[in-house]
């Protein structure tokens, strides 16, 4: 009988460092993997198809929604993101844990459908640090897009209490953040 791998969910506002935490966890957890999401957004420099995301058109994404291929999906900022049911099931048979970086609505779907998982809400130490990180990551971010991301972040922060664990990712202390999350995962 094949035992299913645990699901670890990390969420947090843009700029919180959740993807850096994911990368750190993957290096430290043997037999773990990252659930690559589908998205309609354009790749950022150095992002690779099938490694960071499955980059698809909006039309292809909407077809997958219609065919109920996503376990969860959301329209975030100006793009769509989703978790493939089929890919997640396949990964759970091979890896333990399977790590997902999804937004608060995606995590809500996991809770709603009672899909077993452990969830972490990752946040920066302050709104100013969040703004600084967003600007640093996206050098040409427009004031309008920054405002949208901050509004989204404020809404996401309201959901933090619904997570199993809340972790502050202090600037220049990423290794400590990864260690803290790792200790919790290993206790589960």
What pLDDT shows up at residue 133?
Answer: 83
Q: CA separation (Å) from 112 to 99, 103, 115, 143, 162?
A: 19, 14, 8, 35, 12
Q: What is the CATH number of the domain that holds 26?
A: 3.40.50.300
Please count the structural domains in the chain.
1
User: Is residue 107 included in any domain, yes or no?
Assistant: yes
Residues 6+ apart with CB under 8 A from 108: 159, 162
User: Is residue 1 included in any domain, yes or no?
Assistant: no
Q: Which domain holds residue 126?
A: 7-187
User: Is residue 2 included in any domain, yes or no?
Assistant: no
CA distance 19 to 12: 10
What pLDDT shows up at residue 1?
Answer: 37
CA distance 178 to 142: 31
User: Is residue 86 included in any domain, yes or no?
Assistant: yes
User: Is residue 63 included in any domain, yes or no?
Assistant: yes
CA distance 60 to 70: 12
Query: Is residue 162 within 8 Å of 117, Cβ to Cβ?
Result: no
Of the candidates 97, 81, 128, 112, the one whose C-alpha atom is nearest the C-alpha of residue 9 is: 97
* β-sheet bridge partners, residue 9: 100, 119
User: Is residue 156 included in any domain, yes or no?
Assistant: yes
Q: What is the mean pLDDT of each run of 10 residues along the chain (188 residues)?
A: 83 91 96 96 91 96 98 89 96 96 93 94 89 75 82 90 96 94 91
């Amino acid at each position: 009988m094949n035992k299913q791998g645990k699901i670890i969910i990390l969420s947090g506002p843009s700029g919180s460092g959740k993807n850096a935490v994911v990368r750190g966890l993957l290096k430290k957890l043997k037999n773990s993997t990252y659930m690559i999401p589908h998205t309609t957004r354009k790749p950022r420099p150095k992002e690779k198809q099938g490694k960071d995301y499955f980059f698809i058109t909006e039309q292809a994404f909407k077809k997958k929604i219609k065919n109920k291929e996503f376990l969860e999906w959301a329209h975030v900022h100006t793009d769509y993101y989703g978790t493939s049911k089929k890919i997640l099931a396949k990964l759970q048979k091979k890896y333990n844990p399977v790590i997902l970086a999804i937004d608060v609505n995606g995590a809500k779907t996991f809770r709603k459908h009672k899909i077993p998982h452990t969830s972490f809400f990752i946040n920066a130490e302050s709104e100013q640090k969040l703004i600084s990180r967003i600007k640093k990551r996206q050098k040409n971010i427009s004031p309008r897009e920054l405002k949208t991301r901050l509004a989204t972040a404020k809404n996401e922060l309201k959901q933090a209490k619904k997570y199993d664990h809340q972790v502050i990712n202090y600037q220049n202390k990423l290794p400590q953040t990864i260690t803290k999350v790792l200790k919790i995962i290993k206790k589960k």
